[in-house]
Chain A
Amino acid sequence: MSPRHLIRLSIAAALAATSAFAADPPPPPDLANWKCEMCPFDKGYDGSVTVGAAYADGANASYGRYYNGMDHEGAYADLSAAGDYVGENGRHVEYAIDDAGLSSRRGMIRAGTFGLYDLTLRYDGIPVSRQDATVTPYTGGMTQTLPANWTMAGSPAGMADLESSLHGVRIAAERRTVSVDGRIRAGLGFGFFARFERQQKTGNQILGAGFLTQAVQLAAPLSYDTDTVEAGVDWSGERRSVRFMMSDSKFHNSDPLLTFQDPYLTLSGNTEFGAVSRPAETDARQWSLTGTTLAPLHSSFSFAAAQTELTNNSPLVPSIAGGTVPDTLYDGKVVLTHFAATFSSQPFSHWTARGRASYDERRDDSNTAAWQQYLTDQAPSTVVQNPHYGFERSFVDGSLDWRIFRHLSIGIAGDRRDINRTESVVAKTEDGRTYGRARWTPGHGIDVMLKGGFAHRDAIGVDLSRVLVGQDPLVSIYNLSNRDRDFGELSATWAGKTFGLSVQASAANDRFGRSMLGLLAGRERRAAGTLTWTPSETLSVYVDGGYQNRTSSQAGRYDAHALVWMADIRDRYTHVGAGGHWTLGKWDYNADYTHAKANGDTAVGPSGGLAAFPTNQTAFDSYHLTVAYAKSDALTFRVRYAYQNYTAVDWAYDGVTPASLTNLLSLGALVPQHTVNVFAVSFTYRYGKRAGGE
């Protein structure tokens, strides 16, 4: 047989084999017989209403920090509803209202035709209460004043009118989001979508404001709106998809300046005001294009490109209280550019390669000028030019995994991140990371993954002209310094017929070795695990727990002649939980317990003689018990009891009163503490097709 014949024969054999593979898909069925007569397609209406009441015993602002809308002791309505209607031709309406009796309420209504279009309206309230025992002598909103004939003093302890002027002020805020979004599927794989969202944030916050070396804390009102409009088109075919979107987000804040009376002795002896700016009105416009495609050899490729223009054209505020607005314009403009691409490929069944590359640029095109600074309104300071921080960030990563045996695969991966910065002390950092991983899946539900590697960051090009006088130019700034890191992870799961065990552990060590100042080292150890037992469809039980230990050390000194001081910081966090769910006939029981505890230790002092702060502690205990009785398909009664206890010890807050600190007139904020019992009873009534009706 000549070589040519051999090749022809071989090609023919290969083609025959390939076509044999291609012929594997089964012959298409005769769909004329596929009537789906037994299919219980969804049709008609259906709904449920839950009505009840809850009493929160001991609730306060600390409890309200948990976004639950229960920030004071008392009774709350428990109101929820949900339902849907599905008509002929796929027309449908769906709605859900949760926690209507609380400020954490949310609601949604969606209508449309399946597969053609839908329109959704949403509302969501997120209340966050912070403090309900804070006090202040100030009154007013964006102009905060002290009582008439206020006696100024060098420190709060000497302010004769302070004690008698204090009145309570709650610190709380609420975020309310309303959105409407719609989508139309236009055929041929095209779809159009649009969305409008308004986020409102109202309430107040604690805001510090300084007079050179003295400061006050204010209950600063906040009233922000963010309106976002998005619209775009996408197309998806069998192997490719493309999406183009434009968005515009406008942030509104009608109060750009908060002024406040100085309670301290002033140089002139007269009443003076200070000022602190509030967030400026800004606009963010973005276009983005993303695409994906599947390629031969079990490969895929995707890309993204986006450009965002952030602008700040809001008028500036006066440099000093009652003064004039500077003639110079800021005209803030920052352009963010983003390109990224990813790929994956599995050319052979045992090999998988993945990779990603991205480029991000932040270019600050704002106006640069020299601005007269005032440390107090009566004390002009230096003239400073506003900086233009920008960067170019490139990133590339890749991994290769090889299944060497049926139950064992190994892989190697690495990434590299370079950041070139403008107007920064460190012009460039180069980060590289390499790691390996192994995965063992011997069957019987066992899956073990081990991963470990190291990383190195180089800080290149320290700009000495930007180093502050007295500061070591090589100080280990957190994100701008040389760093060596090694890390490892272990995760293991064992899924049996009735039980599951999952364990994860990780360790990481950081060393910032170039300088004896700044951040010197960091270390983290973590472990977590969960054990579940589900002996039947009506009973499931779980136990979980975790531990984290994070330490860091840092150093500093005033100048080259000063002694070095050290700080060792250690944060430990543990949690355990247990719970279960049991259905017994018409009864349904749910129980959960969680305990979480955090300890924070800080020791500071001259090298070799560290003194320890009191240990900061938080302890969280929570029990939930719910018992439900289904009287019928349509009616369920439910009783719920929840207990939550939170205690904290924190040297940053404990003992701080408006008059206790030499240079700070504070609001006397307390660390969160609460012991709350919530009792709730409710019933749920179901109606429509799934309640036994039609």
Chain B
Amino acid sequence: MRTGSPLYTHRLLGTLLLACGLMAAGAAHAAGPAAAYTEKGADTCLDCHEEAAVTGIFRTAHGRPTDARSPFGHGQLQCESCHGPGDAHANGKGKTRPSVIRFGKKSDTPKATQNEQCLTCHTKDAAHWGANAHAGSQVACADCHTLHQPKDAVRDFKTQTMVCTSCHQARGADALKPSHHPLVEGKMGCTSCHAPHGSNAPSALKGSTVTETCTTCHAENRGPFLWEHEPVAEDCSNCHDAHGATQPSLLKTRPPFLCQQCHEVQGHPSVAYGPDGLPGGGGVQRGVFLQAGSCLNCHSKVHGSNHPSGSKLMR
């Protein structure tokens, strides 16, 4: 068959390459002439953009002339490092004035283009970013960061939670629950546990695992213990909801029912601890199993015990 001959294969390959080449050449032609940089750099820009909302950049890391990595460092492209070549914009007039690359929620620049500008310098974040859920959700760097403000709200625990929960609304609601980490109080931030630019851990955690992340602060529960509690050793989130809970101690469910999700029989009968067991409930009083600390009234070493006689996590 002709289709199997080397001549046919060569022609097919050649035609395909020619088509690709011509398309690419056409696209290159359609892209138009290369944009040019301004004549005087930032001085050109500041001639018009002298407002505080712009000059705030000089009070941030991006506006430090002595830092060679900064856009205003020696040999850098100043405003045009991030906003791209601006000559056409500077010399344009009226409605036909072409826009430079703009950042923020009201920008008409595609988010991918915005992010490319940032990741050109922030190379450490660049490779993590691609696989990050934020990238998957088409979040722009400037959706969270305010670059021309001396104080970037997302970098301060006092305001960070507000920034994150403007998208993660359920987490914002969790932070108001009766039992919560001090997020809305500004004593810690989402970034105390998460790496928003991406990490190799689940849920972009800073630690390798959930447990490693939690025990950074809660070191007393990290063990090893002579007597361990298996779900504690495996994952704190088996029992706790770190973002906030309506139950005390960030627990997912109220003891004894949380404990009874696993311990059907554990040394004493698996009985129905119903409301008749409360004082005045009319049944056999089971307050020690239900009230105050519930199961933890006796099994208080629920995270592990170092007592030789602590196999029941009571000592």
**Are A600 and B246 closer than 8 Å at their CB atoms?**
yes
**Are A666 and B292 closer than 8 Å at their CB atoms?**
yes
**Are A602 and B291 closer than 8 Å at their CB atoms?**
no
- The 3 tightest CB contacts between A and B, nearest first, are A90-B66, A13-B21, A115-B67
Q: Give the shortest distance, in Å, between A659 (CB) and chain B (any CB).
A: 11
Q: What are 21 pairs between A and B in contact, CB < 8 Å?
A: A10-B14, A13-B17, A34-B41, A42-B58, A199-B217, A208-B293, A215-B298, A280-B306, A293-B127, A298-B130, A304-B199, A319-B307, A340-B208, A479-B234, A502-B167, A506-B170, A556-B271, A567-B260, A613-B274, A613-B278, A669-B292
Picked from A21, A253, A479, the residue with its CB within 8 Å of the CB of B28 is: A21
Question: Given contacts A38-B42, A215-B298, A386-B311, are A256 and B63 in contact (CB under 8 A)?
Answer: no
Residues of B within 8 A of A180 (CB): none
Picked from A38, A304, A600, A620, the residue with its CB within 8 Å of the CB of B254 is: A600
- A 312-327 contacts with B by CB, 8 A: 312, 314, 316-320, 325-326
Chain A 400-427, CB within 8 Å of chain B: the 1/0 string?
0100000000000000000101001000
Q: How far is the CA of A274 from the CA of B300 in the complex (A)?
A: 14
Question: Given contacts A275-B315, A391-B234, A399-B136, are A344 and B308 in contact (CB under 8 A)?
Answer: no
Chain B 259-291, CB within 8 Å of chain A: the 1/0 string?
011101110011111111011100001011011
**Are A598 and B246 closer than 8 Å at their CB atoms?**
yes
**Are A282 and B265 closer than 8 Å at their CB atoms?**
no
Residues of A within 8 A of B223 (CB): 282, 310, 312, 332, 334
Q: How far is the CA of A529 from the CA of B263 in the complex (A)?
A: 39
- Judge whether A251 is part of the interface by a CB distance below 8 angstroms: yes
**Are B24 and A21 closer than 8 Å at their CB atoms?**
yes
**Are B301 and A277 closer than 8 Å at their CB atoms?**
yes
- B 12-55 contacts with A by CB, 8 A: 13-18, 20-25, 27-29, 31, 34-43, 46-47, 50, 55
Q: Give the shortest distance, in Å, between A479 (CB) and chain B (any CB).
A: 5
**Are B58 and A41 closer than 8 Å at their CB atoms?**
yes
Interface centre among A209, A399, A613 (most CB of B within 10 A): A613
A to B contact number (C-beta, < 8 Å): 522
Picked from A90, A528, A552, A554, the residue with its CB within 8 Å of the CB of B172 is: A528
Question: Given contacts A372-B309, A556-B272, A660-B279, are A124 and B300 in contact (CB under 8 A)?
Answer: no
Question: Given contacts A199-B219, A238-B123, are A36 and B226 in contact (CB under 8 A)?
Answer: no
Q: How far is the CA of A290 from the CA of B254 in the complex (A)?
A: 40
- Judge whether B227 is part of the interface by a CB distance below 8 angstroms: yes
Q: Give the shortest distance, in Å, between A94 (CB) and chain B (any CB).
A: 11
- Judge whether A37 is part of the interface by a CB distance below 8 angstroms: yes
Q: How far is the CA of A380 from the CA of B126 in the complex (A)?
A: 61
A660 (CB) vs chain B CBs: closest residue = B279
**Are A652 and B257 closer than 8 Å at their CB atoms?**
no
**Are A25 and B34 closer than 8 Å at their CB atoms?**
yes
- B 238-266 contacts with A by CB, 8 A: 238, 246-247, 253-254, 257, 260-262, 264-266
B296 (CB) vs chain A CBs: closest residue = A208
Residues of A within 8 A of B310 (CB): 277
**Are A251 and B222 closer than 8 Å at their CB atoms?**
yes
Picked from B39, B67, B131, the residue with its CB within 8 Å of the CB of A355 is: B131
**Are A518 and B264 closer than 8 Å at their CB atoms?**
yes
**Are B270 and A556 closer than 8 Å at their CB atoms?**
yes
- Judge whether B93 is part of the interface by a CB distance below 8 angstroms: no
Question: Given contacts A279-B220, A340-B200, are A114 and B70 in contact (CB under 8 A)?
Answer: yes
A552 (CB) vs chain B CBs: closest residue = B253
**Are B40 and A35 closer than 8 Å at their CB atoms?**
yes
Picked from B7, B11, B85, B271, the residue with its CB within 8 Å of the CB of A565 is: B271
- Judge whether A530 is part of the interface by a CB distance below 8 angstroms: yes
**Are A661 and B131 closer than 8 Å at their CB atoms?**
no
**Are A251 and B219 closer than 8 Å at their CB atoms?**
yes
**Are A237 and B169 closer than 8 Å at their CB atoms?**
no
Q: How far is the CA of A29 from the CA of B271 in the complex (A)?
A: 81
Chain A 11-47, CB within 8 Å of chain B: the 1/0 string?
1111111101101111111010111111111100000
**Are A373 and B200 closer than 8 Å at their CB atoms?**
no
B255 (CB) vs chain A CBs: closest residue = A652
**Are A302 and B272 closer than 8 Å at their CB atoms?**
no
Question: Given contacts A13-B21, A20-B28, are A89 and B271 in contact (CB under 8 A)?
Answer: no
Q: How far is the CA of A301 from the CA of B131 in the complex (A)?
A: 8
Residues of A within 8 A of B35 (CB): 26
Which of A50-58, A142-150, A470-478, A677-685 forms part of the interface with chain B? Answer: A470-478
A610 (CB) vs chain B CBs: closest residue = B274
Residues of A within 8 A of B315 (CB): 209, 274-277
**Are A35 and B43 closer than 8 Å at their CB atoms?**
yes
**Are A236 and B224 closer than 8 Å at their CB atoms?**
no
- B 158-202 contacts with A by CB, 8 A: 158, 166-167, 169-170, 172-173, 176-178, 182, 185, 187, 198-202
Residues of A within 8 A of B63 (CB): 39, 41-42
Q: Give the shortest distance, in Å, between B224 (CB) and chain A (any CB).
A: 4
**Are B264 and A320 closer than 8 Å at their CB atoms?**
no
Residues of B within 8 A of A89 (CB): 66
A373 (CB) vs chain B CBs: closest residue = B309
**Are B66 and A319 closer than 8 Å at their CB atoms?**
no
Interface centre among A214, A282, A345, A605 (most CB of B within 10 A): A282
**Are B306 and A277 closer than 8 Å at their CB atoms?**
yes
Q: How far is the CA of A439 from the CA of B261 in the complex (A)?
A: 38
Given contacts A6-B18, A663-B287, 12 further A-B contacts (CB under 8 A): A9-B14, A17-B25, A21-B24, A26-B85, A277-B305, A319-B308, A340-B201, A344-B131, A356-B131, A557-B264, A569-B253, A604-B272
**Are B136 and A360 closer than 8 Å at their CB atoms?**
no
Question: Given contacts A42-B59, A126-B182, are A300 and B306 in contact (CB under 8 A)?
Answer: no
- Judge whether B314 is part of the interface by a CB distance below 8 angstroms: yes
- Judge whether A487 is part of the interface by a CB distance below 8 angstroms: no
Question: Given contacts A210-B298, A604-B273, are A302 and B262 in contact (CB under 8 A)?
Answer: no
Picked from B68, B212, B226, B292, the residue with its CB within 8 Å of the CB of A332 is: B226
**Are B272 and A605 closer than 8 Å at their CB atoms?**
yes
Residues of A within 8 A of B13 (CB): 7
Question: Given contacts A17-B27, A39-B46, are A384 and B311 in contact (CB under 8 A)?
Answer: yes
- Judge whether A561 is part of the interface by a CB distance below 8 angstroms: no
B201 (CB) vs chain A CBs: closest residue = A340
Residues of B within 8 A of A282 (CB): 219, 222-224
- Judge whether B64 is part of the interface by a CB distance below 8 angstroms: yes
Residues of B within 8 A of A569 (CB): 253-254, 257
Residues of B within 8 A of A526 (CB): 170
Residues of B within 8 A of A618 (CB): 178, 246
**Are B66 and A596 closer than 8 Å at their CB atoms?**
no
**Are B228 and A389 closer than 8 Å at their CB atoms?**
yes
Residues of B within 8 A of A151 (CB): none
Residues of B within 8 A of A478 (CB): 231, 238, 261-262
Question: Given contacts A238-B123, A275-B307, are A290 and B200 in contact (CB under 8 A)?
Answer: yes
Q: Give the shortest distance, in Å, between B232 (CB) and chain A (any CB).
A: 9
Residues of A within 8 A of B105 (CB): 495
- Judge whether B72 is part of the interface by a CB distance below 8 angstroms: yes
B199 (CB) vs chain A CBs: closest residue = A304
Interface centre among B78, B167, B264, B312 (most CB of A within 10 A): B264
Residues of A within 8 A of B201 (CB): 304, 340, 358
Picked from A90, A372, A449, A529, the residue with its CB within 8 Å of the CB of B64 is: A90
Q: Give the shortest distance, in Å, between A622 (CB) and chain B (any CB).
A: 9
Q: Give the shortest distance, in Å, between A521 (CB) and chain B (any CB).
A: 12
- A 589-626 contacts with B by CB, 8 A: 594, 596, 598, 600, 602, 604-606, 611-614, 616, 618, 620
- Judge whether B2 is part of the interface by a CB distance below 8 angstroms: no
Picked from A38, A342, A479, the residue with its CB within 8 Å of the CB of B131 is: A342
